A = this chain, B = another copy of it.
Amino acid sequence: MQAVMTADEMMAFLEEVFPQVKSDFAIEEMDGTKTVMRLLTADRHLRPGGTVSGPSMFALADVSAYVATMARIGKQALAVTTGCSMDFMRKPEAGRDLIAVATLLKLGRTLSVTDILIYSEGKDDPVARASMTYSIPPAPKP
């Protein structure tokens, strides 16, 4: 399925809505079903020991689900996360970016559900999994 905008348009929109996004995240792939995003790992994302912190992984999963949803419905600044679950399964490797692979499982009238697997770049085993539910504001009356 095709996305309703390009990755560049999406990135411009993200930067407008979340100014910190530009220095933290990059879109690697984006179509209407699957989205791949990168956390540009920097010191501020790390815990002692050099591993990426839980809140940074949450932020990566959250923005990936947002992008996966917007890729289908277009710009909706008011979409908000209503629920998430995460399992932290392995310690991310120090000195590597994280890659999130997000699959949109459902796009309903008022909710989207996205499944996310997070990897240390170049590794096969996921470091975390997440499910994110977004609430989509009702379309304006025509």
Q: Which residues of B contact A105 (CB under 8 A)?
A: 87, 89, 117, 126, 129
17 extra interface residue pairs, beta carbon distance < 8 Å, beyond A84-B88, A89-B113 = A18-B47, A18-B48, A54-B59, A55-B55, A55-B58, A82-B89, A83-B85, A83-B86, A83-B87, A85-B85, A87-B105, A89-B106, A89-B108, A90-B106, A110-B135, A113-B129, A131-B131
A17-66 contacts to B, CB under 8 A, are 17-19, 47-48, 53-56, 58-59, 62
Instruction: Report the Cα distance A47→B81, complex, angstroms.
Output: 13
Q: How many copies does the complex hold?
A: 4
The residue in chain B whose Cβ has the minimal distance to the Cβ of A51 is B80
Contact B110 A81 (CB under 8 A): no
Q: In whole angstroms, how far apart are the Cα atoms of A56 and B105 in the complex?
A: 21
A80 to B89, CA, bound (A): 10
Q: How far is the CA of A54 from the CA of B80 in the complex (A)?
A: 9
